[in-house]
Chains A and B, each alone.
Chain A
């Protein structure tokens, strides 16, 4: 007897299975039994056995046939009466899920369409810049030799670039003790705004004082003030009141601050994108966000030291050890 049957390929098997379902008395049954009696089919014994088994089943159709009793019916009808009319209920869960799923798909498609039409969304500063790798040094200075030609000096306060960048003389005698004088170095050539870069500077804070303020800056307006060597529109990292801070081009402090102590060495890393920037002081990102720098003007990187008063002890309060500008 075959263990597998190909019903689609054998019309008689189709007729036979119809007869087995419909049972004795049905037209299919009559036709199938007639075919078997004519003896033209293979596996005759097997098919006759099936017919016999089905006949016995027919005799036992009352097997496990039950009907609801009055108590059962009453329970069901009480349950139905307690139900609100079916037409007024909320959508079935499956429909709700389908509708929600369709809505999610539509939102995703709309977002993708918008993205394709309008370009990628604005860069997330933290994501975009912190994952960037800047492996090409475009300018650096270690301040143990004459200043490299890529840099030029700024401001009235003279600095010695050969023993670590530090003030060499007392502030100008014309300034009052409350005013700052500035001196520093700045990149001669600007970096195009559409080229992201990183600048890394190392500072040695020998003695924390507001009379000597170290600054790392990036400006898009390289017209520096004659006294302080500051520009009108710059992003600045500085140490003031014992904390490293960030000042945006709109003159507002931003982000968190990091406490600085006497004798501390600090490495500051500024990552500048076209519209965003990130400032890392020591091991902490103290600020990231829109840089406010013009997206279409070159950026100039520099180090500056502001000084006031004429305390001799402040001369070596801050030493700039190195600065390095890198691009991708």
Chain B
């Protein structure tokens, strides 16, 4: 099942506008800017799309809120995919500079997260290609938080549970994640860690949803096999 729950219903919006002005019955339905009604909403509570509309008009404060909402997500994605802190720093900055620079290319009703992760992914791919050509890197400074703890799978596992056995399993599966083929790892990172729907991933990667589902399936299967294929019956339904 694909999720496009956030996509607004243009027909409904048009109908609402007509009811609001019963005296004037225009022959041509009025053009309704579906995000315009949100202009009165305080900036901090404005939707991503409204913030982007303001950014397109040159509002840098609106863009700083977008940065606040997405910086951790973008940087974590880059770290998970590239595995290099210095790459994350340089590419992460570039992502937000480009997002601001090319804000006019964003078109509502595309989800901002989809648009932003498309930029992020493209830059990450370019960086991966560059790294293959020149692998020598210099770390100059660390301007990111949480790097030391989060980069070690076993430290993450320790924080996740007190059960030593489980910690070992989690640590191993996170470690195994690094060894997955890039296309399978990407679907897991985008879908599981970044919580993006298949529809969004389809838009970001240009790969059909059915293929992405297949990659998710096989990626997790591979991780399961690396773990020895054990099935934990005691865990059951987590709902």
Chain A residues engaging chain B, CB cutoff 8 angstroms: 1, 5, 7-8, 13-18, 20-21, 23-25, 28-30, 33-34, 37, 45-46, 48-73, 75-77, 79-81, 83, 85-89, 92, 95
Output the residue of A16, A73, A88 with the most chain B CB within 10 A: A73
Inter-subunit contact A53/B173 (CB<8 Å)? yes
Known: A28-B1, A64-B150, A86-B100. A52 touches B75 (CB 8 A): no
Inter-subunit contact B213/A69 (CB<8 Å)? no
Inter-subunit contact B96/A76 (CB<8 Å)? yes
Of B50-58, B115-123, B127-135, the stretch lying at the interface with chain A is B50-58
Inter-subunit contact A55/B235 (CB<8 Å)? yes
Inter-subunit contact B1/A18 (CB<8 Å)? yes
In the complex, what residues of A have CB within 8 A of residue B88's CB? 66
Per the bound structure, the CA–CA distance linking A55 and B234 in Å amounts to 12
Known: A68-B75, A68-B144. A33 touches B236 (CB 8 A): yes
A-B contacts, 14 of them at CB < 8 A, read A7-B210, A13-B213, A20-B192, A23-B192, A56-B166, A57-B174, A59-B160, A68-B71, A79-B93, A86-B102, A86-B103, A87-B57, A87-B103, A92-B104
Query: Restricting to B34-68, which residues have a CB under 8 Å from any CB of A?
Result: 55-58, 60, 63-64, 67
Chain B residues engaging chain A, CB cutoff 8 angstroms: 1, 55-58, 60, 63-64, 67, 71-72, 75-76, 79-80, 83, 88-89, 92-93, 96-97, 100-105, 141-147, 150-151, 153, 156-157, 159-161, 166, 169-171, 173-174, 177, 188, 191-193, 197-198, 210, 213-214, 216-218, 220-221, 223-225, 227, 229-233, 235-239
In the complex, what residues of B have CB within 8 A of residue A5's CB? 214, 217-218
Inter-subunit contact A34/B237 (CB<8 Å)? yes
Per the bound structure, the CA–CA distance linking A55 and B64 in Å amounts to 35
Inter-subunit contact A65/B239 (CB<8 Å)? no
Inter-subunit contact B170/A60 (CB<8 Å)? yes
Inter-subunit contact B224/A49 (CB<8 Å)? yes
Inter-subunit contact B235/A73 (CB<8 Å)? no
Min C-beta distance of A94 to chain B, whole Å: 8
Known: A7-B210, A50-B224, A66-B150. A75 touches B143 (CB 8 A): yes
In the complex, what residues of B have CB within 8 A of residue A1's CB? 221
Question: How many CB-defined contacts (below 8 Å) exist between A and B?
Answer: 217
Inter-subunit contact B144/A69 (CB<8 Å)? yes
Inter-subunit contact A33/B144 (CB<8 Å)? no
Min C-beta distance of A222 to chain B, whole Å: 73
- Which of B153, B157, B217 is in CB contact (< 8 Å) with A20? B217
Known: A52-B235, A58-B238. 7 other contacts (CB 8 A): A45-B231, A52-B224, A53-B224, A63-B174, A71-B143, A80-B60, A86-B56
Q: Which residue of A lies closest to B173 (CB)?
A: A56
Per the bound structure, the CA–CA distance linking A96 and B235 in Å amounts to 56
Inter-subunit contact B71/A86 (CB<8 Å)? no
Inter-subunit contact A49/B100 (CB<8 Å)? no
Known: A49-B229, A60-B153. A75 touches B100 (CB 8 A): no
Listed from nearest, the 7 A-B pairs whose CB atoms lie closest are: A85-B58, A24-B238, A72-B143, A53-B224, A30-B239, A17-B213, A71-B143
In the complex, what residues of B have CB within 8 A of residue A60's CB? 153, 156-157, 160, 170-171, 173-174
In the complex, what residues of B have CB within 8 A of residue A54's CB? 192, 220
Min C-beta distance of B80 to chain A, whole Å: 5
Per the bound structure, the CA–CA distance linking A203 and B232 in Å amounts to 106
Q: Which residue of A lies closest to B148 (CB)?
A: A66
In the complex, what residues of B have CB within 8 A of residue A13's CB? 213, 217
Inter-subunit contact A64/B230 (CB<8 Å)? no
- Which of A53, A55, A57, A88 is in CB contact (< 8 Å) with B238? A55
Inter-subunit contact B79/A83 (CB<8 Å)? no
Per the bound structure, the CA–CA distance linking A284 and B206 in Å amounts to 60
Inter-subunit contact B173/A64 (CB<8 Å)? no
Inter-subunit contact A59/B80 (CB<8 Å)? no
Q: Which residue of A lies closest to B71 (CB)?
A: A68
Inter-subunit contact B239/A24 (CB<8 Å)? yes
In the complex, what residues of B have CB within 8 A of residue A65's CB? 72, 76, 146, 150, 193
Per the bound structure, the CA–CA distance linking A21 and B199 in Å amounts to 12
In the complex, what residues of A have CB within 8 A of residue B235's CB? 52, 55
Min C-beta distance of A96 to chain B, whole Å: 12
Inter-subunit contact B192/A72 (CB<8 Å)? no
Per the bound structure, the CA–CA distance linking A73 and B57 in Å amounts to 22
Per the bound structure, the CA–CA distance linking A54 and B173 in Å amounts to 10
Min C-beta distance of B5 to chain A, whole Å: 12
Min C-beta distance of A116 to chain B, whole Å: 38
Output the residue of B173, B230, B236 with the most chain A CB within 10 A: B173
Inter-subunit contact A86/B224 (CB<8 Å)? no
Min C-beta distance of A290 to chain B, whole Å: 53
Per the bound structure, the CA–CA distance linking A33 and B235 in Å amounts to 11
- Which of A61, A71, A79 is in CB contact (< 8 Å) with B141? A71
Inter-subunit contact B79/A66 (CB<8 Å)? yes
Per the bound structure, the CA–CA distance linking A17 and B217 in Å amounts to 6
- Which of B145, B156, B191, B237 is in CB contact (< 8 Å) with A33? B237
In the complex, what residues of A have CB within 8 A of residue B191's CB? 20-21
Inter-subunit contact A29/B93 (CB<8 Å)? no
